[in-house]
Amino acid sequence: MRTHRPYRSLSYLLLGDRTGTAAIEFAILSPLYLMLLLGMTAYGLYFGAAHSVQQIAADAARLAVSGIDDADRRDIVSRFVQQNAGQYVLINPAKVNFNVSETEGGSRFLVEIRYDASGLPIWGLFEALPKPEMTISRRSTIRIGGL
């Protein structure tokens, strides 16, 4: 025959009761998950902007091949960046700078695009997290004439 204990000890009530454990686990883990999700989103936006900068450099260099001389190539790159930089994802055309030069031998043409990424949300993340450079810089090189 089993005896009924109407009064349980306080330690049994506190340690033996499992109701509410899901709420406590959620309260402990949800900030971590939220920070992870926001960090992935912010870094994803940064990588998207870096990819767009690389595409601008590659497209400008491809177009600059049609120039006759160095000054003509600079003008072509300048017009391309001014007219088309805003069409790339996550790029503010006002923050795009470029540099155009020939390599030492004169056989290649280099287009360097620099983008001030200070407006991206990655800089608002937790300060202790490592962050990339605030200026995204990408280059593209094209051979001048011949094969």
**Digits of tens for pLDDT over the chain (147 positions)?**
566 555 666 666 667 667 788 888 999 999 999 988 988 988 999 999 999 999 999 999 999 888 888 889 899 999 999 999 999 988 999 999 999 988 777 788 899 999 999 998 888 887 877 889 999 999 999 887 765
137 lies in a domain?
yes
The arrangement of strands across the sheet holding 135-143 comes to 96-102, 108-116, 135-143
Structural domain containing residue 122? 19-143
Beta bridge partner(s), residue 140: 111
2 lies in a domain?
no
pLDDT at residue 4 in the model: 59
In this structure, the number of other CB atoms found within 10 A of the CB of residue 46 comes to 21
pTM of the model: 0.77
Tokens 């936006």 -> residue: 45
11 lies in a domain?
no
Q: Return the exposure string of 76-106: e unless at least 16 CB atoms fall within 10 Å of the residue's CB, then b.
A: bbeebbeeebeebebbeeeebebebeeeeee
Beta bridge partner(s), residue 101: 110
Total number of domains constituting the chain: 1
